[in-house]
Amino acid sequence: MLLLSIVTWFWWQPALERCRTFELGWIAEIYLRNLFLMIVVAGGLHLLLYTFKNQGKERKFDSRDLACNNGAFLFRNQVWDNMFWTLASGVTIWTGFEILMFWGFANGYVSFLSWQENPYWFVALFLLQPIWGSLHFYWIHRFLHWPPLYRLAHGLHHRNINIGPWSGMSMHPVEHLLYLSTGMIHWVLLSHPIHFLFHMQVKALEAVTSHCGFETIMAKDKEIVPMGDFFHQLHHRYFECNYGTLEMPWDRWFGSFHDGSVEANERMRERRQRIFRKKD
Ligand SMILES: [Zn+2]
Ligand SMILES: [Zn+2]
């Protein structure tokens, strides 16, 4: 991901001078780049794991196939539905945040941190991104489970109980806005556009890899790349647990941690009963 953000900044990004005013040319370049990245990563993983069935069901979390002929999804098809929300809403809002930020950088509304100025802080910012990302995601996600917001937005993502690569960024536009607002910290935190690109690409593309439905990508019966996220897979299976990510122990601190064991399941049930008793 780091390499991708460096390559993007040096060779795949419109020059900053062009970003001073909102013009179709540079905006379209960023949009097409993000569209391409999303199609390659999500489409590539889908083709490998679900179309060509490269490793069958080996290391797959849920043995069922993705839903076909199911009225819960647009076009009665989970994959087509997920592709629609990912590409129409996800890529557009991801691009929207990038356009705003680069317009801010180009006009000097946001200052730059250069490598020469402070190389230690330059490196540290990459290491701090997962910590901020985890904090932001945990609280946004808890907020999305607030019943009115769940009904309005987050329920759309949760129709995917059994998940695939296209499910990761399959969200309601309101959820895309909240989820990707994490990158807006760069308006106030002194950083470089590479940090911002890294942050946005991690959020958009790791949502895809973490939802791929398989723990590991295999080749010739050998595990080659760890890919899926068992922790978040359990959130899709049981809903009221594992709201965060594993970079920070938010779920342990707030008692919603689930490791897939029978004991954790019992704890989650008790917690749920306590909440519902309180509501009654
Ligand atoms: Zn959720
Ligand atoms: Zn999810």
pLDDT tens figures, 189-214: 999 999 999 999 999 999 999 999 99
Phi, psi (degrees; rounded to nearest 5) at 234: -65, -30
The pLDDT value recorded for residue 279 is 62
Q: Return the ∠ at Cα 177 (arms to 176 and 178), rounded to 5°.
A: 95
Q: Residue 247 Cα, ligand 1 centroid: separation in angstroms? A: 17
Helices 119-144 & 193-210 angle (0-180, nearest 10): 40
The pLDDT value recorded for residue 280 is 61
Q: How many domains does the chain have?
A: 1
DSSP 214: B
- Taking the C-alpha atoms of 46, 210, 84 and 174 in order, what is their torsion angle to the nearest 10 degrees? 180
Ligand nearest to the CA of 243: 1
**Residue 79 and residue 164 in contact, taking contact as beta carbons nearer than 8 Å:** yes
Q: Residue 257 Cα, ligand 1 centroid: separation in angstroms? A: 14
Query: If 0-12 CB within 10 Å is exposed, 13-18 middle and 19+ buried, where does residue 21 land?
Result: exposed
The pLDDT value recorded for residue 26 is 98
Which residues of the chain have a pLDDT value below 70? Answer: 279-280
CA distance 4 to 265: 39
Q: Residue 62 Cα, ligand 2 centroid: separation in angstroms? A: 14
Domain membership of residue 126 as a residue range: 2-279
Count of C-beta atoms within a 10 Å radius of residue 235? 21
Q: Residue 96 Cα, ligand 2 centroid: separation in angstroms? A: 22
Report how far apart the first and last C-alpha atoms of the chain are (Å, whole number): 47
Q: Residue 170 Cα, ligand 2 centroid: separation in angstroms? A: 9
Q: Residue 144 Cα, ligand 1 centroid: separation in angstroms? A: 7
Q: Residue 268 Cα, ligand 1 centroid: separation in angstroms? A: 15
Q: Residue 105 Cα, ligand 2 centroid: separation in angstroms? A: 31
Q: Residue 160 Cα, ligand 1 centroid: separation in angstroms? A: 10
